[in-house]
């Protein structure tokens, strides 16, 4: 029998995402954060990659926009590279995990900053 400690995961892809600095990077002025994590899994015959999604609640749209730029710069400083179309940043996270990072301001509530990692 294998047991996981609370807060730990046995999924190597999710663990790679959790240990990347962008999984905890935070700009000044975050009011609250919502977080969702899920490991690799198969459901109804479809395979889903591990993901870690963060929603940072900022004070207003200006703060969220500035934080999005800061997040992209922090990611690049840590080795993330822009994809050809610049909508994602990519980074090899070790093992067999190719990470993809998305940083964007929500369209419906522009005080929300989304930081999503998948791999």
HEC per residue, the chain: CCCCCCCCCCCHHHHHHHHCHHHCCCCCCCCEEEEEEECCEEECCEEECCEEEEEEECCCHHHHHHHHHHHHHHHHHCCCEECCCCCCEEEEEECCEEEEEEEEECCCCCCEEEEEEEC
What is the rounded distance in angstroms from the CA atom of residue 69 to the CA atom of residue 27? 10
Tens-digit pLDDT profile for residues 6-49: 455 578 999 999 999 999 999 999 999 999 999 887 777 777 88
Tens-digit pLDDT profile for residues 42-61: 777 777 889 999 999 999 99
The pTM score is: 0.86
User: Residue 84 to residues 6, 45, 88: CA-CA distances in angstroms?
Assistant: 39, 31, 8
């Amino acid at each position: 029998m294998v047991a996981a400690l609370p807060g730990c995961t046995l999924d190597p892809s999710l663990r790679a995402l959790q240990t990347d600095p962008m999984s905890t990077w935070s700009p000044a002025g975050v009011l609250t954060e919502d977080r969702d994590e899920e490991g690799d899994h198969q459901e109804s015959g479809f395979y889903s990659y591990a993901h870690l999604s963060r929603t940072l609640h900022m004070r207003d749209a200006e703060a969220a926009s500035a934080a999005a730029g800061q997040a992209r710069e922090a990611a690049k400083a840590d080795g993330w590279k822009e994809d050809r179309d610049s909508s994602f940043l990519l980074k090899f996270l070790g093992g067999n995990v190719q990470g993809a990072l998305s940083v964007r301001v929500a369209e419906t509530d522009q005080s929300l900053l989304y930081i999503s990692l998948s791999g």
